[in-house]
Amino acid sequence: MENIRLVLVILLSFIALLLWEEWQRDYAEPAPAATTAANDAKPADLPTPAAAKPDVPTAGAQMSAPAANAAAPTIAPVVVETDLFRAEINPVGAVLQRLELKRYPLSLDKDAALFTLFANDEQRVMLAQSGLKAAEASPDHYAQYTTSAQRYEMTDGQDQLDVALTWRSPEGVEVTRRFTFKRGSYEIDQAFEIRNASGAEWKAHPYDQLQRLQPQTKRSMTTPTFTGAAFSSPEKKYEKFKFDELEDEPISRDAIGGWTALVEHYFVAAIIPPADLSQHYYSTAVGEGRFVVGYYGPEIAVPAGESRTVASRLYAGPKIQDVLPTVAPGLELTVDYGALWFIAKILFWLLEKIHALFGNWGIAIILLTLSVKLMFFPLSAAGYRSMARMRKVQPRLVALKERFGDDRAKMNQAMMDLYKQEKINPLGGCLPILVQIPVFIALYWVLLESVELRQAPFMLWIKDLSIKDPYFVLPVLMTASMWAQTKMNPAPLDPIQAKVMQIMPLAFGVFFAFFPAGLVLYWFVNNVLSMAQQWYVTKQIEAAA
């Protein structure tokens, strides 16, 4: 059929349009009003209940917000240094207000700053807050804690580091907020150790929450990834919410087990309560562009003279796919590969196994491409045979066009008769490309979403496969390979289609110039292998003729 290549062009353009629309949805410029609100916020100060909505959870009349704490004195933070973290804990509320990830610099420059997951400054606001909320004075995340040291450091040979802050009530209730950092782990154990030295029973609701200022995102050609909140329960393993959705429909769920998190490109912060207790999960828009996600648990009662410990966990770090399932069920789903996740999972598994053998993600991509081409060779060979037969009858098709002129009905009928006579499937030539499309899209998400490939080098000038080629060498090579492929295929009879096919390599080359270098490497190697397969199949047909 004469229009089959035009159909293919439309199909590929449609896929490109879908990708572009996804970029726009996830990384469109915020509305002017939202931008102004975010800029007017004062991230250097902890939010106070005097804001549009209190950021302390409520559970009935006895869980009202604490008094405004805007006049709280500035206190030096507790500094924590481990093998993975450089952290700061604010003694006001025992808030984890800064968390730098030592193994994840912002760039490959020698003196590059570290990626900061938790921060409380002009560029970024993201905090881990927790507390116990009682009817009377209680250690919520505005309470004043004390500590025996201002700096804690994990030494060589030390497997874990405990950081303790203490709050005391006038009645004699003492609460120790304990953070336990473990060597080699992005999971932080948290606990409230309650000792009731008062003369009466003490009751409170524990809560954990994450607070974030909605980021001002810009359109990006290379990072169309999700930023927002996530929630998991035994009933539904993974739900995600954009910040705008949380403002309109806040989370309010009860579940035994589960977790809630803030998710962004490559990284996640998740709070995980005890799995055997029913928790109420919530979200709140607290004003000034800030959002809170968290949970509060059932009321605990500590009799006079007794003690009680309330524990939870915080995962704060990269979305490492081998680690996340061991932290909490469903947490691995924060690595969001989109609709073709089932293909992406297989591709990443293969990439990881090959990388384990060769230690280079670029080589892993090349060998993965080779594996995919070998797997689909029977299907590709059928397509190449169809194209070889099409090339063979090309002179007869030209003669039919000259014979019937503008009578398209007779022309199409004559072409169909010729295809039937020569046993040619006009759709067969499209199969090699159509097979590649799902793999291409799935690999696109693997390269974008897998933190394992972040800043992964290949060779020579390719220092990071997850970003575009800095010198555009690979896009040029890919364009040349696409152009060479068009020369191996029979030219369309329609002059307009012929021009489109000539322009396509250049158009795709420009488009791919902004794609991750690893993806362009895959497409270039795929083109070279496709040409080798097509040459082999064509020679076989010519030899048999």
How does DSSP classify residue 73? P
Task: Single out the residue of 170, 90, 166, 174 nearest to residue 128, CA to CA.
Answer: 90
Task: Please give the structure tokens belonging to residue 198.
Answer: 């008062």
Alpha helices in 450-472 (DSSP H): none
In terms of domains, do 352 and 284 share one? no
Q: Residue 328: its pLDDT value, please?
A: 95
Indicate the residue among 318, 336, 354 that finishes a domain: 336
Q: Residue 75: its pLDDT value, please?
A: 77
In a domain, 310, yes or no: yes
Q: What is the mean pLDDT of the chain?
A: 81
In terms of domains, do 370 and 493 share one? yes
Its domain, for residue 328, covers: 31-215+226-336
Q: Residue 18: its pLDDT value, please?
A: 47
Low-confidence ranges of the chain (pLDDT < 50): 1-11, 14, 17-53, 60-73, 223
Indicate the residue among 309, 336, 363 that finishes a domain: 336
In terms of domains, do 128 and 8 share one? no
Indicate the residue among 284, 309, 336 that finishes a domain: 336
In terms of domains, do 314 and 347 share one? no
Q: How far apart are CA 231 and CA 261, in angstroms?
A: 6
Q: How far apart are CA 93 and CA 143, in angstroms?
A: 5
DSSP string, 486-518: HHHSPPPSSHHHHHHHHHHHHHHHHHHTTS-HH
Tell me the CATH number at 311.
Answer: 2.70.98.90
Cβ pair 509, 482 in contact under 8 A? yes
Q: How far apart are CA 189 and CA 315, in angstroms?
A: 9
- Give residue 219's identity as a one-letter amino acid code: R
- Dihedral angle, C-alpha 235, 237, 243, 244, nearest 10 °: -50
In a domain, 26, yes or no: no
In terms of domains, do 415 and 480 share one? yes
Q: Is 453 exposed, middle or buried (0-12, 13-18, 19+ CB in 10 A)?
A: buried
Q: Residue 8: its pLDDT value, please?
A: 47
Q: Is 351 exposed, middle or buried (0-12, 13-18, 19+ CB in 10 A)?
A: buried
In a domain, 437, yes or no: yes
Cα angle at 196 between 193 and 198, to 5 degrees? 155
In terms of domains, do 163 and 230 share one? yes
In terms of domains, do 105 and 70 share one? yes
Question: The tokens 């039937």 sit on which residue?
Answer: 420
In terms of domains, do 279 and 372 share one? no
Per residue in 186-214, pLDDT tens? Answer: 999 999 999 999 989 999 999 999 999 99
Q: Look at strands 290-296 and 202-213 and give their pairing.
A: antiparallel
In terms of domains, do 169 and 279 share one? yes
Q: How far apart are CA 168 and CA 356, in angstroms?
A: 52
In a domain, 292, yes or no: yes
What is the rounded end-to-end Cα distance, in angstroms, of the chain? 24
In terms of domains, do 384 and 523 share one? yes
Question: The tokens 């004390």 sit on which residue?
Answer: 146
Q: How far apart are CA 188 and CA 162, in angstroms?
A: 10
In terms of domains, do 284 and 427 share one? no
In a domain, 440, yes or no: yes
In a domain, 221, yes or no: no
Count of residues making up the chain:
545
Q: How far apart are CA 238 and CA 226, in angstroms?
A: 13
How does DSSP classify residue 198? S
Q: How far apart are CA 218 and CA 224, in angstroms?
A: 10
Question: The tokens 């309470």 sit on which residue?
Answer: 143
* Exposure of 234 in the CB half-sphere (CA atoms within 13 A): 9
Q: Output phi, psi for 97, to 5 deg.
A: -105, -10
Each as own residue / partner, the long-range contacts of residues 318-325 (CB below 8 Å, 24 or more positions apart, any chain) are: 318/101, 318/104, 318/186, 318/266, 318/267, 318/268, 318/451, 318/454, 319/266, 319/267, 319/268, 319/449, 319/451, 320/186, 320/451, 320/452, 321/348, 321/450, 321/452, 323/186, 324/268
Q: Residue 408: its pLDDT value, please?
A: 72
Q: Residue 158: its pLDDT value, please?
A: 94
Q: For residue 496, how many other CB atoms are within 10 A of its CB?
A: 9
In a domain, 307, yes or no: yes
Q: Provide the domain count of the chain.
A: 2
In terms of domains, do 180 and 298 share one? yes
Q: For residue 377, how many other CB atoms are within 10 A of its CB?
A: 16
In a domain, 220, yes or no: no
CA 136 to chain centre: 42
Cβ pair 311, 191 in contact under 8 A? yes
Angle, to 10 degrees, between the axis of helix 4-27 and the axis of helix 431-449?
Answer: 10
Q: How far apart are CA 365 and CA 357, in angstroms?
A: 13
pTM: 0.80
Region of 117 (left: φ > 0; alpha: ψ -120 to 50; beta: rest) is alpha
Question: Helix (H, G, I), strand (E, B), or coil: what is residue 91?
Answer: coil
